Structure 1
C-alpha cells in the first residue's frame, strides 16, 4: 500500500513542485547573500613562457605571492572561496576592494569591470544535471593583470578548463606563445563554448517532449513543458549579460589587451550572440509545444464530444418510438397487434442504420 502511494505521489508531484521556481527567482540584488566558507581550498599555479611551463599545487594562498614578478605568465586557479584568502591575494596583486566584493558575492549578474589597470570579469559556468534535468551554474571570477591571471571558482570538483591546461602543456601552442590576455580569452571562450553543450542537452529534451506530445500527450507533458521553460529562463539569465561583458573587452583601451587579441574576443562575441539567438528559438519552440498540447487536448475533447453526440443521435429514434408506444392512449396503431412489437424494434434498428449511412456520406465521422 505504501509503495502504491509513493508511486502516485511521484506522478503528481511535478504539478505542485515550486521549489525550482523559488530557486530561479529568489535572487534579490538589494540583499547581500551570505556565502559559506569553503571547507577545502585547492590552489593550482601554472607558470609558463615560450620555453617552459611549470604547474604545481600550493598549500596556502600566500605561497602564490611570488608569481607577481617572476618574469613569466602565471595562472593562479583557486577552487573554493574563503574571504581571508580572497582578501590576501587581492591586496597583494592590487585588486580593488569593489572587485574583491564581487568575487565574494553570490548570484551576481555577469559583467566586466576595469579598475586600476586590472581587468575583471564575472560569469557563470553552466552544467546540465541529467538526473533531475536542471541547469546548474557555478560563478567564476577572472582577474587579468600584467602577466598574471587569477581565477576563482566555487566548486573544485568540476570546471571546463581542462583544454586550457592541455594546451599549456604543449610547448609550441598558441597559448604558450601569447600573453596573459590570450589566456583570459581562452578561458572565457571555453565557458561560452560549454553553453552549447548545455543547450544541446536541453534541445534533446525538447525533441523528446515534442514526440511525446504528438504521440500521447497527457498532463505530465504539460508539467515537463513548464519545467523546461524554467530551465530556459536560467539559461537566458546567465547567457544574455555575457554579450555586454564581451563587448566591454572589445571597447576597452587597456594596455593589458593587445590589438591582436581583440579579434579573438570578437569571435567569442559572435558565439554568444548565436547562443542567445538559439535560446530564443528554444523559447519559441516551447510556446509552440504548449500550443500543440492545448490543441491536442481540445482535439481529443472534440472527438469525445463528437462520439457522444453521434451516440445520442442514434439513440434518439429508439427513445422517440418507445415514448410513442408508451403513451396512455387506448387507440394507438399496432398497440394491440402481435406484429406491433416487431415493427417498433425494427424501426429502432433501421432508422439508426440509415442515420449512420447519412453521417458517413457527409463525412461527419
Structure 2
C-alpha cells in the first residue's frame, strides 16, 4: 500500500498533506484525565441542548424533537420501545431524567463526569455503559472525542452526548425507519447493541485516517529527515497513543455485557454483543500495529539521520585525508632553515606545487579504486 502511495503522490504533494501535522498549532489533548466521577462541578452546562425521541414497535416508528424536558417523562410507562437521545449535557436536565426514570445517583454522577474511562455497570434494573465516541479532524490531524453515556431499562434506552452537532448514530436512525427491520422488532438490548456497534465501527474510520498519515510519514522520513519531520512524528505518535488508551477499556465494557446476568439481556442477543467484542479486539490489535509502525518510523528517522551524518563525516574524512600530505609538505618547506633541499632552486616552488598536485591526484585514484567515495 505504501508503494502505491509513493507512485500516486509526488513528494511536494506529500509535504503539503503532512504540513498540517504541526504540533505547534494544536494543543495537546488528553482522552482521560483520571478525575473522580464525583467532580461534576468542573463540567460547564451545554449552550445548546436537544432531545430527540424514537418511539417504535413492530407496527410503526415515530421520531420527535422535544421542546420541553417534561415531554420526556411520558415515555417511561409506554408499552412501546423508546430511544431517548440527549444532545448537550446539562446538570439539571440529567438530574430530572434520572429521577423520573429511577436511575441510580452513581450513574448520574458518571454521566455528569468528564474524561471517564470506558466502563459498564449493572445497577438495580438499569444497565449503564460509558465510552468515547471518536472523530478524526482532518484539518488539524487530531482525534476529537466526546463522552457517550447509555442507560438501558426494560422499555427504554437513554443516550447522553456532549456534542449536539454530530454523532455516528445515523445508521441506527435509518434502520429504525425501515418497517420490519431487526432493530424495529427487537428488544432494548438489541438497540443498545446497535448503538455500541456503530460507535465501535467508527473507530475503524479513525484508524484508517491514522494509517494514511503513518504511511505518508514513512515516505517523508526517507526524503526529509529533519527536525520538522521529527516533530510531526512525535505529534502523530501521541495521537496514536491517545487513541489506543481511549479504546482499550471498551473491550472490558463489551465483555461486561457478555458476562452480565441481567434480565434486560436476552440470550438470543448475546451473539450480537459477541460480534462487537470481536470488532473491538480487532480494533485494539490494529491500534497496536499502528503504534508499532509509528515507533518504527521514529527509528527509521534516527537511522536516516545517522546515515546522513555518516555521509557528512565520510566526506570530511576524505577531504582531511587528501589535504594532510599537502599540509605536511607545505609545513616542511615553510620552516626557516638555511640548508634545505631545493631551497635555492629557481624552480623549487613549481616543483613543490607539481609534486603536491600529483600526490593529490594519485590519492584520489587510489580512494576511488577502493570504493571509499
Asked if these proteins are the same fold (TM beyond 0.5), I'd say yes
| Partner residue, 1:85 | 93
Q: CA deviation at 1:30?
A: 8.1
Structure 1 range deviating more: 225-234 or 150-159? 225-234
Counterparts of 1:35-114 in structure 2, within 5 Å, are 35-114=43-122
1:229 aligns with 2:245: no
SS in 2 for 1:20: coil
Q: What is the rounded CA distance, in whole Å, between the counterparts of 1:89 and 1:30 in structure 2? A: 19
Find the partner of 2:176 among 168, 183, 189.
168
C-alpha RMSD of matched pairs (Å): 1.8
| Partner residue, 1:186 | 194
Q: CA deviation at 1:340?
A: 1.5
| Partner residue, 1:321 | 329
How many matched pairs?
Answer: 353
Summarize deviations over 1:292-335 as a string: whole Å, max 9, x none: 11111111111111101111111112211211222222222222
Q: CA deviation at 1:14?
A: 5.5
Question: 5+ residue gaps in structure 1?
Answer: 1-10
Find the partner of 1:264 among 249, 268, 272.
272
| Partner residue, 1:6 | none
| Partner residue, 1:288 | 296
Find the partner of 1:202 among 206, 210, 214.
210
Summarize deviations over 1:263-292 as a string: whole Å, max 9, x none: 010010011011111111111111111111
- On the 8 A contact 2:23/2:235 being kept in 1, the answer is no
Q: What is the rounded CA distance, in whole Å, between the counterparts of 1:175 and 1:15 in structure 2? A: 43
Q: What is the rounded CA distance, in whole Å, between the counterparts of 1:86 and 1:24 in structure 2? A: 23
1:334 aligns with 2:347: no
SS in 2 for 1:87: helix
SS in 1 for 2:159: strand
1:155 aligns with 2:163: yes
| Partner residue, 1:127 | 135
1:32 aligns with 2:17: no
Q: CA deviation at 1:339?
A: 2.6
Summarize deviations over 1:155-182 as a string: whole Å, max 9, x none: 1100000010011111021111211111
Question: What TM-score do the two structures reach when normalised by structure 2?
Answer: 0.91
Q: CA deviation at 1:233?
A: 2.1
Q: CA deviation at 1:338?
A: 2.5
| Partner residue, 1:5 | none
SS in 2 for 1:48: strand
Q: CA deviation at 1:31?
A: 7.6
Question: What TM-score do the two structures reach when normalised by structure 1?
Answer: 0.93
Structure 1 range deviating more: 331-340 or 54-63? 331-340
- On the 8 A contact 2:38/2:109 being kept in 1, the answer is no
1:346 aligns with 2:354: yes
Summarize deviations over 1:239-280 as a string: whole Å, max 9, x none: 000000000000011111111110010010011011111111
Q: Specify whether residues 25 and 157 from structure 1 end up closer, same or farther in structure 2 by C-alpha distance, changes over 3 A only.
A: closer
Counterparts of 1:290-305 in structure 2, within 5 Å, are 290-305=298-313
- On the 8 A contact 2:82/2:156 being kept in 1, the answer is yes
Q: CA deviation at 1:62?
A: 1.6
Q: What is the rounded CA distance, in whole Å, between the counterparts of 2:327 and 2:32 in structure 1? A: 60
